[in-house]
Structure 1
Amino acid sequence: MDGILPLWKPKGLTSHDCVFKIRKIFQTKKVGHTGTLDPEVEGVLPICIGQATKIVPFLTETRKTYSAEITLGTATETEDRYGKIIEEANVLDEFSSVDIKQVLSSFHGEIKQIPPMYSAVKINGKKLYEYAREGKVIERPQRTVAIHHIQLCEGSINKSSNRLSFKFDVECSKGTYIRTLCVDIGKELGYPAHMSGLVRTKTGCFDKDNTYTFEEINQATDLASLLEPIVKGVEDLSVYYVDEHIKKKVLNGQKLNLPDLLPATDPFRVQYHDELLAIYKSHPDDKQLMKPVRVFN
C-alpha cells in the first residue's frame, strides 16, 4: 500500500512509537512520520506509507498550525508544564484582550528563536537535551522562523491564584518551538511564562477533521481506504504536466529540458493528467535542465 495516513497522535506516545505501531498494523517497514510531536502533545501527524515515504521531507517542510495555552507567572526548565520550576512571579497586571492581542501581533512575520535546552537540536554531535540532563547549558545559535498567523482565542483569558493563562492559535514554519514562543510572549508581557498546553491542529493540507485515531485504524476492515493519495502531501508544489512520451522519460529518472514557462515553485510536481510521476527541480549546474528529486514508479 502506498499513501498517507492522516493520524491523530494521542498523548503518551512519541512520533516514533506511532511509526512502530503503524508498521505492525500495515505489515510494512516503509513507514515514516512528517514532523516530531512531543509525547505529551496530541494532534495531526501524517504518516507516510510505502512510496509515500519519498515525500516525507516535503511534508515536513509544510506549515503547521497549533492551538497553544500559555501560563504567566511560572517558568520551567523545559519551557512546558512538565519541567522543574525555575522562576516564579505573581501576576499583578490586569491584561485585557486588547493588550494581549497587541503583543501577539508583534510576533507576526519572521522572528528569531533560540532552541530550548530540552530539544533534539544537535550541537557538536550531541542533542541539547542530553546536555540539559547533565546539568549543562550550551550556547545555542539563533534561528529564523516564520509566524504566518497568530490569534488570541476569544474568552480564553483566565486569572486565578496570581497566575494568568490564555490560549492562542498559531500557524508557523517548520522548526518553530511553540514552547519558546510562549516564553518570549511572556517576556513581552513582563512575566516568566511556560507553555501549559499544546495541540497540533493542522499539518500542510491535513487537519483534525480528516484524521484517524488508533482505535479507528484498528477497527477498519479496509486499511487502504484510510490512505490519502501521495499527491495530497505535495499539493503546495506547483505542477508541470507532461504527455505520454515524456512520461516514460520521467519514470526512468531522466533529466529534461526546463519548460519555457517555469513552474511557480522549485521543486515542483510532474504529472501525467492526475497521475503523480515525480518531483523535479531546476538543475543547479545547467539552467536549461531540470532533474528528478523523487520518482514514483
Structure 2
Amino acid sequence: MSRPKQPRSPAPPPGLVIVDKAPGMTSHDVVARARRIMGTRKVGHAGTLDPMATGVLVLGIERATKLLGHLALDRKTYLATLSIGVSTTTDDAEGEIFGEVDQAKLTEITDAAIAAEIANLTGPIQQVPSAVSAVKIDGKRAYARVRAGEDVVLPPRPVTVYRFDLLATRREADHLELDAVVECSSGTYVRALARDLGAALGVGGHLSALRRTTVGPFTLAKARTLEALEETPELSLDLDSAVAAAFPRRDVDRNTARAVQFGQTVPAAGIEGTYGVFDPDGKVIALAADAEGVTRSVVVLVPA
C-alpha cells in the first residue's frame, strides 16, 4: 500500500536576506545553507565574499532573485587589516608566504610614507586584480588557470577608491599591521590594495583580515548570522521594502500597473536608470526603465 503524499511546505515570501557571513565559508556555502533554512531552492547571492572575509552578503529569496542582477551595488565598504612586510601568493592570509623583510627595513617606513602611499591609492586608479581572483580570461576564471599551473598576468582596470582611511598602526617584530576603512567601487580588490601599498613601500604586503560593512544600501545593521537566521527564518526585507530601499520609486494608477504587468510600454516617467514600479496598493510589480519616450519593463516581478 503506497504512503499518502506529504503536503509540500508553502514557499517562503519573496524578499532579501542580509547575511553576516562567517569566516571560512564560500558564498556558495551560504546559499546552500540558506536554501535549507528558508525551505526553497530559489536562493541566489549578489556580490561574492572570499572565504576568509566576513560581513554583508545579500541573498535573494524566491522572486527577489530577479532583483540581484539589477541591484545598484556599485559601492562597498570594508574594515581591513593590512600586513605590510609579508607577501603571499594570493595577496591575502590564505596564500603561501613568499617574501618577508627584516626588522631594519620595516623601521625605515615612516607614518608619513604610509599616508602618502595610501593617498596615491585613493580616488580613480588602475588596479591589477590578484592572479587568483574570479576575473575571467577567455571564459575561464583566473584562479582556475593558476590552479592548473598557468602563469596568469591580468591587465589593469579602472576602479575607484572613494575612501581609504587609516584607523590604526601596529609595529610588530616582523611586520606592520594597518587597520583601515576602505570604501570602493564594485570590482575593487582590497587585497590588491594591500599588495600595492606594500609594494609602494618597498617591503610587500597582503590582506590579513576583511569585514564588509556595506553593500550598496544594505548594511550590517540589517545583517544576521546564519545561526540567527536558523532560529528565526525570516526575511530582512520583503520584496516591496527591498525595491524601495535599492531603487527610485514610481507609483502608478491601476490601468498603468496592469499594462506594466502585461509587459506593455507606458509613458516615460523621466526617472534616470532602473526604478521600481508600484501599484496603487503600494505593492511593487516591476523594475522598469525609460527609453525613447516610453517606459519598458526590465523585469516583471508580479505578472498580471
**TM-score normalised by L of structure 1:** 0.89
Distance 2:254 2:158 in 1: 43
- CA positional deviation for 1:87: 2.1
Q: Is the 8 A contact 1:7 1:45 kept in 2?
A: yes
Decide which of 270, 274, 283 is 1:267's aligned counterpart. Answer: 274
The equivalent of 1:289 in structure 2 is 294
State the match for 1:133 in structure 2.
147
Instruction: Assess, with a 3 A threshold, how the Cα gap between structure 1 residues 207 and 117 changes in structure 2: closer, same or farther.
Output: same
- 2:256 maps to which of 219, 240, 246: 246
CA distance in 1, matches of 2:263, 2:26: 36
Partner of 1:77: 89
State percent identity of aligned pairs: 33
2:215 to 182, 197, 203: 203
- Contact 1:54–1:294, Cα closer than 8 Å, also in 2: yes
For 2:197, the equivalent position in structure 1 comes to 185
Q: Deviations over 1:18-77 (max 9, x none)?
A: 111111111111100111111121111121101110111133733211111111111111
| Structure 1 position 253, deviation (Å) | 1.7
1:92 matched residue in structure 2: 107
Rounded Cα–Cα distance in structure 1 between residues aligned with 2:199 and 2:190: 14
One-letter code aligned to 1:250 = V
Write the letter of the residue equivalent to 2:277: V
Q: Which has the larger radius of gyration?
A: 2
1:128–1:134 CA distance, 2 compared to 1 (3 A): same
Could you say which residue in structure 2 is the equivalent of 1:229? 238
Q: Is the 8 A contact 2:253 2:279 kept in 1?
A: yes
Residue type at the aligned position of 2:173: S
Give the structure 1 partner of residue 22 of structure 2.
Answer: 10
1: distance between equivalents of 2:293 and 2:161?
Answer: 35
CA distance in 2, matches of 1:203, 1:191: 32
- CA shift, 1:272, in A, is 2.8
Cα deviation digits, residues 172-207 of structure 1 (max 9, x gap): 111111111111122233321111111111112222
SS at 1:116's partner residue?
coil
Amino acid at match of 1:293: V
Name the counterpart of 2:3: none
Instruction: Provide structure 2 residue ranges, at least 5 long, that are not aligned to the other structure.
Output: 1-12
1:120 pairs with one of 134, 142, 167: 134
Letter aligned with residue 198 of structure 1? L
Question: Which residue number corresponds to residue 148 of structure 1?
Answer: 162
Deviations 1:240-276 (A, max 9, x none): 22112211111112122213xx11x312222235322
Hey, what's the Cα distance between the residues in 2 that align with 1:34 and 1:211? 14
1:124 and 1:30 mapped to 2: Cα distance? 29
2: CA distance, partners of 1:233 / 1:141: 36
In 1, the alpha carbon distance for the partners of 2:128 and 2:77 equals 20
How far is 1:105 from its partner? Answer: 2.8
Judged with a 3 Å threshold, the aligned counterparts in structure 2 of structure 1 residues 211 and 127 are, in CA distance, closer, same or farther, namely: same
Question: 1:166 Cα shift?
Answer: 0.6
Q: Is the 8 A contact 2:128 2:157 kept in 1?
A: yes
Distance in 2, matches of 1:232 and 1:166, equals 38
The aligned length equals 285
- Specify the code of the residue in structure 1 equivalent to 2:301: F
RMSD: 1.8
1:106-130 CA-partner distances (Å, limit 9, x unpaired) = 3232211112111121112222112
TM-score after normalising by structure 2: 0.87
- The answer to whether 1:212 aligns with 2:212 is no
1:279 is matched with which residue? 287
Give the counterpart of 2:171 among 159, 172, 182: 159
Contact 2:278 / 2:286 at 8 angstroms: preserved in 1?
Answer: yes
Deviations 1:119-164 (A, max 9, x none): 12111222211221233222322221121222111xx211111311
d(CA) in 2 for partners of 1:149 and 1:232?
29
Are the aligned partners of 2:222 and 2:236 in contact in 1 as well (CA < 8 Å)?
Answer: no
